[in-house]
Amino acid sequence: MHIEKELQIIKENAVDVISEGELLKKLEKSRAEGKGLRVKYGADPSAADIHLGHTVPLQKLRQLQDMGHQVIFLIGDFTARIGDPSGVSKTRPPLTKQEVQNNASTYQEQIFKILDRKLTNVVFNSQWCDDMKSGEIMKLASHYTVARMLERDDFALRFRKKEPISIHEFLYPLIQGYDSVFLKADMEVGGTDQRFNFLVARELQRDFGQEPEVLILLPLLEGTDGKQKMSKSLDNYIGISEPPAEIYGKIMSIPDEILPRYYNLLLRIDMPNDCGPHEAKKHLAREITSIHHGEENAGKSEQEFEKVFVRKELPENIPEFVLRNEELKDGKIWIVELLLKAKLAATGNEARRLIAQGGVKLNNKSCTDPELNIEIRDNMVIKAGKRRFARIKMEGNHG
């Protein structure tokens, strides 16, 4: 591949490249030495699911692998215990070591749906950060001033509003930057919300006598609300390991106005202009579901969606759960407790909110009273939200 073509592919969909001249020199050096560049991508395992927003940089990484470059997939198990302050308006609660480990294990399963395993080196920054002595951390902190840290938009905003900023949050970009120093990264890929952290990495590499990494900043994919970036904490995400019908249904729910961005960032093609938004959305849902679960599951998900949401019929397969007679009082159960037992709500507050918003139906009849006691009959079907169903089986009638 000609080097100008390689440069063009790397720049595709990028919001910014810092800097293009440096990138060209690195590519030329890579060709001359006959070895690929070391491309860093960091992900804090703050949640168990990799979602479609993550696949935007992952696809860029796969493009780089196809050109022969080596991807270093950094799982920030150490920095996740600090909590990335990027784009947040308050101190993020730190995760426990066990929570981080659980989430990290799922990341390793999911990334190879996109990345080439042979050209991916998975590392954990606890491997070097856990061994850092207090003197080393103090020395690292001396490379940046409080004034420079307050140039960050989110820190500056919180400072103006007199909202608390913990000292440990200042350490986050420094430790993330030190990861690039330790790994001797030639290039780093990430979203535009990481600009400040990435620039810190470049400065630290210079301070440590290294050539600074080139930055490839990519756009952030909006979530299913069409407004804020896709995020599990905002509950607007589409996880790539979610059931195929869930992925298909969530894509069908996105606002029409963000369809072109989904086509562009997830499929790297323009949205078709020979059909309306509904048909374009169906095509997008089929393609995305097929990428992560195969064509057969995508086809079944489309049929299921048409059945449930167009023809208003019940799904083909509804999960069952068993109620015991002793769980009932005079043949009835509190609706909030019913949703919890059916695993259609994680907490009582979530169950109450679903009910109050009109999101709960029993045998297709709306339930809007969170204090209601339901008279239970075998085979009753509960619907919670748009896509979650459960069928009640009374003890003795199950199986």
Write out pLDDT tens, residues 33-51: 999 999 999 987 776 678 9
Q: Is the domain of 212 the same as that of 269? A: no
Per-residue pLDDT at 66: 95
The residue ranking higher by pLDDT, 89 or 151, is 151
Q: Is the domain of 163 the same as that of 36? A: yes
Confidence grade of residue 89 (pLDDT, cut at 50, 70, 90):
very low
Domain boundary among 288, 310, 332: 310
Question: Residue 183: CB partners within 8 Å, gap ≥ 6?
Answer: 38, 40, 72, 74, 123
- The CATH code of the domain that includes 89 is 3.40.50.620
Residue 238 lies inside a defined structural domain of this protein: no
Residue 46 lies inside a defined structural domain of this protein: yes
pTM of the model: 0.79
The residue ranking higher by pLDDT, 235 or 198, is 198
Does residue 149 register a pLDDT over 90?
no
Tens digits of per-residue pLDDT, 166-191? Answer: 777 788 888 899 999 999 999 999 99
Domain boundary among 267, 290, 310: 310
Residue 228 lies inside a defined structural domain of this protein: no
* β-strands 70-75, 38-43 pairing: parallel
Q: Cα(399)–Cα(397) distance, rounded to whole angstroms?
A: 6
What phi and psi values does residue 333 have, to the nearest 5 degrees? -145, 145
Task: Look at the chain and report how many structural domains it folds into.
Answer: 3
Q: Is the domain of 207 the same as that of 253? A: no
Q: Cα(379)–Cα(394) distance, rounded to whole angstroms?
A: 8
- The CATH code of the domain that includes 380 is 3.10.290.10
Alpha-carbon dihedral sign for residues 75, 77, 78, 82: positive
Confidence grade of residue 131 (pLDDT, cut at 50, 70, 90):
confident
Q: Is the domain of 335 the same as that of 305? A: no
The residue ranking higher by pLDDT, 64 or 131, is 64
Domain range enclosing 337: 320-394
Give the pLDDT mean for 59-84.
Answer: 87
**If we measure between CA atoms, which residue out of 324, 309, 319, 286 comes closest to residue 391?**
319
Q: Is the domain of 195 the same as that of 297? A: no
